[in-house]
Amino acid sequence: MIISIDTREKEPLNITAAVDITEVRHEKLPFGDYECRLANDEPLCPVFFERKAKGDLWGTLTSEIDRFKRELERVRESKATLYLAIEGSMTDIYAGYSHSQVFGSQIIRTIFTLQVKYGLEPVF
C-alpha cells in the first residue's frame, strides 16, 4: 500500500513502520490529509482521511463549516470516501472544548449531520 500525505499537513503521523506500506509520499491532495493507494498506484476505493485534533475539530465545524461543506461536496462529486479521524473519543468530544462556548453535543450533532448529508465517515 502507498500512503500519500498532504503537503499542508503540519505534523504528519509517523506511519513508515506500518506493515504492508511500501511507500510514503508527500504531495498536494485534492482533499483530506492522507490517501491510501494500492502498490500499483491505483486508488484504494478511493479513500481519504482528514485528521482533526479537538481544537481543530471545533474550528472546522464552527467558523470554517462552509469551507468544510464545500470540501465534502468535492469529495462526493469525485465518488471518494472521506474518513474524519478525530483524535479523541466521543466522550471526549461530548465533554466540550475549554476554548469554545459551543457545546460538545452540538459538535457531535454536526458530525452526524455531515455523515448523513455528505457521506462523511467519522472515526473517534
Q: Which residue has the cell 504531495?
A: 27
The DSSP-derived string for 22-72 is -EEEEE--SSSSEEEE-TTS-EEEEEEEEEE-HHHHHHHHTTTHHHHHHHH
Question: Using an 8 Å Cβ cutoff, are 93 and 107 in contact?
Answer: yes
**Which pLDDT score, from 0 to 100, does residue 36 have?**
87
Question: Average of pLDDT values for 102-108?
Answer: 98
Output the nine-digit C-alpha cell for 66: 462552509
pTM: 0.87
Place of cell 459551543: 102
Predicted confidence band at 75 (pLDDT cuts at 50, 70, 90)?
very high
Q: What is the pLDDT of residue 70?
A: 97
Indicate whether 45 pLDDT > 80: no
Domains with residue ranges and CATH for the chain: 2-123 (3.40.50.10130)
| Mean pLDDT over each residue of the chain, to the nearest integer | 92
